[in-house]
Structure 1
Amino acid sequence: MRQYLLIIIFTMLSLSAKAQVKLSGTVTDAAGQPLSGVIIKSIDATTKKMAGYAQSGNDGHWTITAKAGSLLQFTAMGFKKQELTVKEGMKEQRVALEDNAVALKEIMVKAAPVRLSGDTIKYLLSTYSKPEDRTLADVLSRVPGFEVNKDNGQISYEGKSISNFYIEGMDLMGGKYGVSAKSLPQQDVAMVEVMKHHQPIRVLDDFTYSDDNAINIRMKKGAKEHWIATFDGGAGVKSHGGLWCFESFAMRLKPSWQTIITYKTNNTGKDILSESEALLTTGELGETLRPLIVLPAPSTSRLGQRSLFNRTHVVTFNTLLRLTDNSQMNLQVTYTNDREEASAQRTTEYFVNTGNRMIDNKKEYLEKDDHLTAKLKYENNSGGQYLKNELSGDLLWSRQWLTERGTNPHDLYGRLPEYTLKDNLMVMRRMGNRLVTLESKNIMQVRPNGLNVDALRQDVNQHYYETDTYLKGSFLLGKFIVSGRAGINAGKYAFSSNMQTLLDSLGLWTGSSHYFFSRIYANPEVEYKISDFDITFSNELSWNHYSYSVGDAYSRVLYSPELHIRWQASPRWQLGATADITNGNVDANQFYPTIVLQDYQYIHRGLADYRVARDKGVSLSARYGDALRGTHLVGRVKRTFGSTPYTTSQEYEGDYIIVSLQPQRTTYNAWNVTLFCSQGIGALKGTLNARALYNAKDAEMIQNGEQMPFKTRAFNLTAGLTTSLIPTVDVDYHLTWMRNTMKMQRLGSSSTINSWKHEAKVHIPIVKLLSLETLAEYYHNQLSANRFKDIFFADASLKLQLRRFDITLALNNLLNRKTYAYALNSDLMRSTSSLLISGRELMINIYYKL
């Protein structure tokens, strides 16, 4: 009997052991980020009692043993509970928890909006979004620490522009990420990660310090399974014709492939051109060539959408293909067709030692542009080597018409095309503690420009070629990083001008020339890292040779040392100090033998001289960041002393102003102060951002042969508060104050301009699906010593929000204002402009998300 009983007991134990299943896996949020501290319970399916539990670690990994047929329950504060049934033979499990918000009277308990993981700060976007938000830029503008340029989509964090913009870890947009920031549907974004001290090139992780901030956009799981598309279109009427706007956005994200396609068009004054501008140009040669022909057009962007009369079409195509885990190909193409008109009255007062001049003209301006840009990039970014090659083209066909009536009546027509080609190659190879880099940058620019002023015709051709190739070696010696770079930089500037003679006494109108420079340089650098200090000393030594087809050749040696100290005083405080001596480059644009008519009034004269400016500067910076409390503070003070071998000269000859450089050394000094702060305010359920800029400079100008010193002082303050103090009512308030003072000692006079702008936006829900949004703008602009212009604008819109549709009825410029006036100070002159702006407009828009 005992034998039978033992057999029965062992059989039952065996069956029980077979019913036990050992499970493991990872638990993440909707963005795919590991979650720690998640409770995993084993629930008996029959008794509904807990049979066991486990908890996820820092990497989100968990392990538990449970019976087949029982339930596994995953719970965490701020996330929806999730369950799965235990089955025999289950493989590694990956569980993604969805965000959850639980209402407790008037308090909302949500998932932690900010999480820290080393140098990465993770912002849960849903905790900052509002029902009226459509795009990523809409939400980021109210997150503490962030600033978003509402025109071009440029993103700054802690007062500094981001260095890279990634989507799911891939750099699809490159420097033209503005179109993504202003088009990416915010409801498809799970998390925004800020990567501090970001180094995009893996082999440089141990070789160089980076103070850059980059962001990575984590999409929700559903957004990565199919195409995402949005459509926003509308029509309306204004006082002189009809209105239209249409925007489409399509995106497909896959593990090895990303594509974004957009098409946008409007005639409402909305600036969509700036979205496709290059916001990042790291690692490229700058576009040295400056236009010599510039029409004095009204500022069409001064008042944004209200002052821009346009017909614009923009198409963008961006695709990225991941070839291997480390390599990818990227193609970007943008085409724009734009037509802009502007009308303004401008009064300009020139402060002249022989008596002030006054010009009062009415301007009618028209511009038609076709612009094509394309970039093809291959990149291989591994831990042992890095290879990148970028080939890009920028082709602009621009035509401009300007009619001036008043003191100086003229008709102007400018043909101002510009063509730019670039190629950038970089190869890095890491061998233990050594790093070798080869980089070659190349650029070609062409400006075949022409100008018609009444019956006069002028043709100016500029061609510029430059190459910069260097070899760099770096060695890691304990706490020292020793680097050395040596290379050659060379360029050629070709100029030709052809025009019928105006006044022989002013100079030569027709001619051509060639300017060439070469620079052989060496740049030793030592970086020392100890504890929380990072000290870098570098010094560029260069031998420079210049030659000019209508002048003598010249050679010289230059040096430019720099010392930079960074101290990570605490996890939140970072302090820095920089001291440098900088030599400027010889400006190729000043080498031309003729005089050039810039417009109907200004004439430019070249100067063949090889001397360069020399600056000495000292700057101090402090940065405090506490992302968990939403506190970000940045301060920077820079003091600059310098001298330049030239002084800008203005000579008044009849109706013309001849601008040139005189070979006369002058000294100058300047102060630059920048302050930025951002604070999340829980009591107000909002965020406060503020930025202050102060610039002071003492300068000189030669006017009709007489030295004319003057001082400029400029102060700019911008502040904004977003709040939801009243439940469901959102308020945005922004203040901008600018003060600019120009003091002219020799003339015994000064010019001061103050301007204020107040902007408030209020979003008020009326019923569940219907809301009202109002916008008010108030300007208080100083036009002269005792004259101010007060302007008030008001807009209102009704929005009906359905599941996939938004329908908006908007009435803009309710008060039907017709003009806007402002004043500006410049070098020994002051101008006052009155812009024609859009009248009252009625628009209906439909937004649809696929």
Structure 2
Amino acid sequence: MRNCILFFFLILCSISVEAQVDVSGTVTDAESKPLPNIIIKNVDAVTKKMKGYTTTDDKGRWSIKAKAGSVLQFSAIGFKKHELTVKVGMGEQHVVLEDNAVALKEITVKAAPVHISGDTIKYLLSTFAKPEDRTLADVLTRVPGFEVNKDNGQISYEGKNISNFYIEGMDLMGGKYGVATKSLPQQDVASVEVMKHHQPIRVLDDFTYSDESAINIKMKKGAHEHWTGTFNGGGGFGSYGGLWNLETFAMRLKSNWQTLITYKTNNTGNDIQSETKPLFSFGELDDKLKPLIELPAPSAEKLKQRSLFNRTHAATVNTLVRLTDNSQMNVQVTYVHDRQEAYARRTSEYFVNTGNRVIDNTKQYMEKTDRLSAKLKYENNSGRQYIKNELSGDFNWDRQWLTEQGTSSHDMEGRLPEYTLKDNFMYVRRLGNKLITVESKNIMQVRPNGLDVDDMQQDINQHYYETDTHLTGSFRLGKFIVSGNAGVNAAYYDFSSHLKGLSDSLGLYAGSSRFSLFRVYATPCIEYKQLTDFDFRLTSEVSYSRYSYSFDNGYSRVLFSPELSVSWRVSPRWRLRVNAGISSDEVDVNQFYPTMVLQDYQYISRGFADYRVGRAKSVGLGSIYSNAINGTHFILNVNRIYGSTPYTTSQEYSGEYIILSLQPQQTKYDSWMVMMMASQGISFIKSTLRVRALYNARNSAIMQNGERMPFDTKILNLTAGLVTSVIPTVDLSYNLSFMCNNMDMSGLGSSSTINSWKHEAKVYVPVFKMLGIEATAEYYHNQVAASRYKDIMFADAALKLKLKHFDVTLALNNILNNKTYAYAVNSDLMRSTSSQNVRGRELMLSVYFKP
């Protein structure tokens, strides 16, 4: 009897160990505030493998089924990890997570707290903010490690563009996050979290190493409770008439949906159109069609806002709805109406073997653009599977007008509409230690373009379709991950062209053609991961391609492209990377057409049907040192690429025209690319110092009238900047830039070197507690000829009144009333010097309202 009782007791124990237990409870912080979105993992106590997970709701509540004896792990950014052992009969659990903050030493105006948890670095934005800052972009420009593009809002961290932009853990903006960067009120942002080695697809987290960084914007509590928004509007006058500027922003954040709406318009040179363009597009097919018609417009890149004469309207609507804990639906709509004008004088000197050729023209340019973009995205991102389907459309109606007077006088009008549709589908499934992925990418592009040059008329119709579908599988063998994908890629390109009014002595002016590609490929890959210290990746693509063209019998080829990458974390703050590979260019569909195409009044393009491709060998070395606690970031990347292409670019001078094409002559090249970036917080002078260096050297060659002309180019860009508050409440920033562009034309026995310097300083001085003066100065020292420089200085001043909900600014721009800006550039055996009109003196009164 005693043995029977013992046996029965053992059975009950075994049942109790294996029993599934319903566990539930709440999670709060030390102040008893509920914590939403806390990840709770169910981990086997013996194998340490995750058996499932859940997250807390808005009230911090959670529930999960787990076996008795397993461990529940509670984790969140900024909190210490908490573990709970599952027992039979355990009641409601109340879990309190402790803060895991580390304070940063004083590096700017005051001590800047930084919280570090694993690969996540959390910056408290208020400690970097200044009274004059309005948007997220304004503040991030002074945070060590960050760089923000002032034009489009793109964010870089440690010298590399971020891969994802989240607001409260949700991907509302996708690749078009520039609108948020330049619109989010900084006073509503609590912190910015940098997630290093970020893998956005959860199921890939244990299978694929990621060297990308993403950021997550955490909003203050008040931004969650109601609609929040800002208004910025103003008017004034300048040398070219009346001025206006209006920017409105509205946002609503809830646990299950987010909405962000903007409307912006101005004629003050602020290029809001660039904010609405994609800043990254991972997982999509690239737009393959290149513009065959392209008017030589004066560039607004050098001076940005000062040289842009515009009338722009832009509206965006972004909505994200969380359907379940793991799935969401995202809708984006953007509309832009943009009108730009530019005026310039350009002197272009073409270095030609038969004698240099000079064209001196004045340019009057105008462009009108209407662009409608829309995207519908569904995403299910769980620990066992990932599903995504993204349908997007980009419809662009663009018209350009250009009048040139001088050496070669012409009137031109270009009609350049472009319509693009994309659909991207991805399914990832985890089966134990195996992973299966199915991905399909599709694109359709249509370009019905036209050009009128005096009495000549060029019409082009281009249609392009491409699909790429592949299956990927991977499995784990200890610390090794073996994977591979196999897929099919197909493309079709339809071209037709008709040119009237040009002498028929140069070639064929009307015709049509079709080009198609069918490719089968496989990419085996092996990775080795030793915790987080060492990663090794060897991959190689093997492909078979079949090409078909209207005017020949087609062509087939097999390509082999191996690539090796090694990453080593020498210490928690220092990482090394080495990569090497052999790559092959793909056949360029844009060169397959049978006719001559008039690009503008001067250039004519000629198609070249040939299937040979270039091969390149590359070696790269990278080093990153990051110490966020001390505000120290250092990045060095060195890359060498050497290879050959079976073609040489051809320039044939025929009368007043330059005919561009390719010649079947091999060109070997050897190039170096070096990038160094460093930023350092200097506590004793409350400053941040940034330095960046870019160097690019390459040898090349061009065929001129049948003769080969080799030339080398070397480009060096150096920038250094200091943001400081040595005197309390006084903010000062200074930036110095240097550029050297050298073109050595050994075939012509000559060279061209262009240097330019830029000094930029800004100071903000408070007069009273609510009143301050901001002054900006820019000084340019540009080389425009062999021994001639042009010096230009711009000065701005603004009086800023800061009230509780209002900022009132009275600004006087270009006080010195400069009207022109001169610079020179080197490019492919040609040097051009431009004198460009800029906006004159302007007075602007604006009001910024934040409820």
User: TM-score surpassing 0.5?
Assistant: yes
- Cα distance change on mapping 1:844 and 1:30 into 2, 3 Å: farther
* Equivalence for 1:492: 492
* Equivalence for 2:674: 673
Deviation at 1:736, TM superposition (A): 1.1
1:765 aligns with 2:783: no
Deviation at 1:683, TM superposition (A): 1.6
Code of the residue aligned with 2:557 in structure 1: it is R
* Equivalence for 2:283: 283
1:376-415 matched pairs, under 5 angstroms: 376-415=376-415
* Equivalence for 1:226: 226
- Cα distance change on mapping 1:463 and 1:29 into 2, 3 Å: farther
1:551-570 matched pairs, under 5 angstroms: 551-570=552-571
* Equivalence for 1:49: none
- Cα distance change on mapping 1:742 and 1:245 into 2, 3 Å: same
1:26 aligns with 2:18: no
Deviation at 1:505, TM superposition (A): 2.0
Code of the residue aligned with 1:319 in structure 2: it is T
1:331-410 matched pairs, under 5 angstroms: 331-410=331-410
Code of the residue aligned with 1:643 in structure 2: it is S
Code of the residue aligned with 2:499 in structure 1: it is M
1:98-497 matched pairs, under 5 angstroms: 113-497=113-497
Deviation at 1:32, TM superposition (A): 6.9
* Equivalence for 2:700: 699
* 1:786-833 alpha-carbon deviations (Å, 9 max, x no partner): 110000000000010000000000000000001000000000000000
- Secondary structure of the residue aligned to 2:629 is coil
| Partner Cα distance (2:741, 2:508) in 1 | 38
Deviation at 1:302, TM superposition (A): 2.5
- Secondary structure of the residue aligned to 2:265 is strand
* Equivalence for 1:709: 710
- Secondary structure of the residue aligned to 1:672 is strand
Contact 1:119 1:195 in 2 (8 A): yes
| Partner Cα distance (2:824, 2:113) in 1 | 44
| Number of corresponding residues | 776
| Partner Cα distance (2:524, 2:845) in 1 | 62
1:409-808 matched pairs, under 5 angstroms: 409-500=409-500, 502-530=502-530, 532-808=533-809
Code of the residue aligned with 2:811 in structure 1: it is A
- Secondary structure of the residue aligned to 1:683 is helix
Contact 2:782 2:791 in 1 (8 A): yes
- Cα distance change on mapping 1:670 and 1:31 into 2, 3 Å: farther
| Partner Cα distance (2:473, 2:559) in 1 | 22
Deviation at 1:301, TM superposition (A): 3.3
* 1:719-748 alpha-carbon deviations (Å, 9 max, x no partner): 111000110000011111100000001211
* Equivalence for 2:838: 837
Contact 2:27 2:35 in 1 (8 A): no
* 1:207-240 alpha-carbon deviations (Å, 9 max, x no partner): 0100000000011111111111100000001123
| Partner Cα distance (2:110, 2:708) in 1 | 68
- Secondary structure of the residue aligned to 1:817 is coil
Code of the residue aligned with 1:203 in structure 2: it is V
Deviation at 1:59, TM superposition (A): 4.0
Deviation at 1:91, TM superposition (A): 11
| Partner Cα distance (1:530, 1:300) in 2 | 49
Deviation at 1:93, TM superposition (A): 10
Contact 2:108 2:683 in 1 (8 A): no
Deviation at 1:139, TM superposition (A): 0.5
- Cα distance change on mapping 1:523 and 1:34 into 2, 3 Å: closer
| Partner Cα distance (2:596, 2:262) in 1 | 44
- Cα distance change on mapping 1:94 and 1:842 into 2, 3 Å: farther
- Cα distance change on mapping 1:245 and 1:293 into 2, 3 Å: same
| Partner Cα distance (2:576, 2:95) in 1 | 45
Code of the residue aligned with 1:646 in structure 2: it is Y
* 1:556-609 alpha-carbon deviations (Å, 9 max, x no partner): 100100011110111011001111000000000000000100000000000110
Structure 1: segments with no counterpart, 5+ residues: 1-22, 36-56, 63-89
Deviation at 1:25, TM superposition (A): 4.7
Superposition TM-score, scaled by structure 2 size: 0.89
| Partner Cα distance (1:508, 1:107) in 2 | 65
* 1:152-173 alpha-carbon deviations (Å, 9 max, x no partner): 0000000000000000000000
Structure with higher Rg: it is 1
| Partner Cα distance (2:108, 2:205) in 1 | 44
- Secondary structure of the residue aligned to 1:273 is helix
| Partner Cα distance (2:93, 2:204) in 1 | 38
Superposition TM-score, scaled by structure 1 size: 0.89
- Cα distance change on mapping 1:34 and 1:371 into 2, 3 Å: closer
Contact 1:335 1:371 in 2 (8 A): yes
* Equivalence for 2:822: 821
* Equivalence for 2:72: none
- Cα distance change on mapping 1:652 and 1:382 into 2, 3 Å: same
- Secondary structure of the residue aligned to 1:289 is coil
- Secondary structure of the residue aligned to 2:305 is helix
Contact 2:475 2:481 in 1 (8 A): yes
Code of the residue aligned with 1:27 in structure 2: it is A
Where has structure 1 moved over 2 Å in runs of 4 or more? 27-35, 57-62, 90-97, 106-110
Deviation at 1:300, TM superposition (A): 2.6
Code of the residue aligned with 2:455 in structure 1: it is A
Could you tell which deviates more after superposition, 26-35 or 477-486?
A: 26-35
Contact 1:298 1:344 in 2 (8 A): yes
Deviation at 1:552, TM superposition (A): 2.1
Deviation at 1:500, TM superposition (A): 1.8
Structure 2: segments with no counterpart, 5+ residues: 1-25, 39-76, 83-91
| Partner Cα distance (1:107, 1:305) in 2 | 29
| Partner Cα distance (1:382, 1:215) in 2 | 20
* Equivalence for 2:56: none
| Partner Cα distance (2:584, 2:237) in 1 | 56
| Partner Cα distance (1:343, 1:60) in 2 | 60
